[in-house]
Amino acid sequence: MSISARLPVFPWDRLEPYKAAAAAHPDGVVDLSVGTPVDPVPDVIRRALVAAADSPGYPLTYGTAALRESAARYLRDRHGVAGADPAAVLPLIGSKELVALLPLLLDLREGDQVGYPDLAYPTYEIGALIARAEPVPYGDPVAELDPARVRVLWLNSPSNPTGRVLAVGELRRIVEWARRHGVLVVSDECYIELGWEGAEPVSVLRPEVCGDSHDGLVAVHSLSKRSNFAGYRGAFLAGDPAVVRELLGVRKHAGMIVPQPVQAAMAAALDDRAHAVEQKERYRRRRADLRAALEGAGFRIEHSEASLYLWATRDEGCWETVGDLAKRGIVVAPGEFYGPAGARFVRVALTATDERVAAAVDRLAG
């Protein structure tokens, strides 16, 4: 059987008829379904990309020393990861490729399990299926997963789609359990910069969570949302040095290399905090406007204390909500895409221009 035959239908294809219906609105579509950045790439990043454009030779899979230093410094200064080591950093061609290929790169086989949240980004499941491992969704990994079979445990805080944040105590409990049983914890922290309410999101690599060692832990960071970097495809992982060496060895053979100009742009983005603060403020305003409009239109918002989305429900089937909003020219993602527990929710992205957000607010009030 081919790999494609073992995978489910790409979920976003099912949304196409609703996008077509929304596009018929006289004032055009407001697409809040996908978390793709719409604001300009900051000048500091573009300048770094252009300056490195004359890069005729093969780049390093390991990344430049400057990039690894920037990533480690970013973890230390922004996220309190005291033991961040440039030698234990590895650049990625965007974070999705790592999510999709990690079980394969770690040589998981049939009989191995990959745990991931029961409301989650679909690619955690896809990665397990590509490797012929068994994907296992969980509500509480400590209580529900079999430590004798689980080899990789995905965490996602802040969560996509719900925006839920795992507290330090919860993260520590999971890490202690995983270490007792030799389970690799991989924490997808792509939305860690986007905390809105309550305690700030915390990296699994912080000393309060994992102590003095990063053994058995990997954190994944993306620049897509923080720096409007999605079109450049740049991310990185950091953590357990032995795991980083293993992944580096396989990725060298496979030619999984971030282009040199993108590496330079990544370093510039990680070294500059001002643009990230400015972008977060844009999202904060859009979030406030959309949340008020959704609640005024009868929606209830659950979790959503962080990340790039509002997790909304009118206590009806998600496709009914999707269809109704499409009539108003608004496209949102059905919660069913993220697991059966999302069947009565929709995910509303903050990634639209101010003008399109204002249009959605007006339509929700109508």
Phi-psi label, residue 238: left if phi above 0, alpha if psi -120 to 50, beta otherwise: beta
Token reading at 72: 């480690």
**What are the pLDDT tens digits along the chain (366 aa)?**
677 777 788 888 899 999 999 999 999 999 999 999 999 999 999 999 999 999 999 999 999 999 999 999 999 999 999 999 999 999 999 999 999 999 999 999 999 999 999 999 999 999 999 999 999 999 999 999 999 999 999 999 999 999 999 999 999 999 999 999 999 999 999 999 999 998 899 999 999 999 999 999 999 999 999 999 999 999 999 999 999 999 999 999 999 999 999 999 999 999 999 999 999 999 999 999 999 999 999 999 999 999 999 999 999 999 999 999 999 999 999 999 999 999 999 999 999 999 999 999 999 998
Q: Are residues 74 and 157 in the same domain?
A: yes
Q: pTM for this one?
A: 0.96
Q: Are residues 160 and 282 in the same domain?
A: no
Q: Are residues 234 and 248 in the same domain?
A: yes
Q: Are residues 292 and 259 in the same domain?
A: no
Q: Are residues 85 and 171 in the same domain?
A: yes
Q: Are residues 167 and 255 in the same domain?
A: yes
Task: Please name the amino acid found at residue 35.
Answer: G
Determine, yes or no, domain membership for 45.
no
Q: Are residues 59 and 204 in the same domain?
A: yes
Q: Are residues 252 and 297 in the same domain?
A: no
CA distances from 198 to 125, 166, 303, 359 (A): 30, 11, 11, 29
Among the listed residues 150, 159, 145, 157, the one whose alpha carbon sits nearest the alpha carbon of residue 128? 150
Phi-psi label, residue 107: left if phi above 0, alpha if psi -120 to 50, beta otherwise: left
Q: Tell me which of 246, 272, 298 is where a domain ends.
A: 272
Give the tens place of pLDDT for each residue, 252-293. 999 999 999 999 999 999 999 999 999 999 999 999 999 999
Q: Tell me which of 238, 253, 272 is where a domain ends.
A: 272
CA distances from 36 to 227, 261, 324, 349 (A): 12, 22, 23, 9
Phi-psi label, residue 28: left if phi above 0, alpha if psi -120 to 50, beta otherwise: left
Q: Are residues 330 and 356 in the same domain?
A: yes
Q: Are residues 208 and 189 in the same domain?
A: yes
Determine, yes or no, domain membership for 162.
yes
Determine, yes or no, domain membership for 48.
no
Other C-beta atoms closer than 10 Å to the C-beta of 215 total 14
Determine, yes or no, domain membership for 46.
no
* Residues belonging to the chain: 366
Domain enclosing residue 34, as ranges: 3-40+275-365
SS3 135: strand
Strand pairing report for 150-156 and 184-188: parallel
Q: Are residues 156 and 205 in the same domain?
A: yes
CA distance 299 to 297: 6
Determine, yes or no, domain membership for 47.
no
Tokens 């008829």 found at: 17
State the virtual CA torsion across 24, 25, 31, 37 in degrees, nearest 10: 100
Q: Are residues 181 and 264 in the same domain?
A: yes
Q: Tell me which of 243, 272, 301 is where a domain ends.
A: 272
| CATH number of domain containing 64 | 3.40.640.10
SS3 110: coil
Token reading at 332: 């949102």
**DSSP state letters, 301-349:** EES-SBSSEEEEE-SS-HHHHHHHHHHTTEE-EEGGGG-GGGTT-EEEE
Give the chain's domain count. Answer: 2
Determine, yes or no, domain membership for 113.
yes
| CATH number of domain containing 294 | 3.90.1150.10
For residues 239 and 214, the answer to whether their CB atoms sit within 8 Å is yes
CA distance 12 to 215: 37
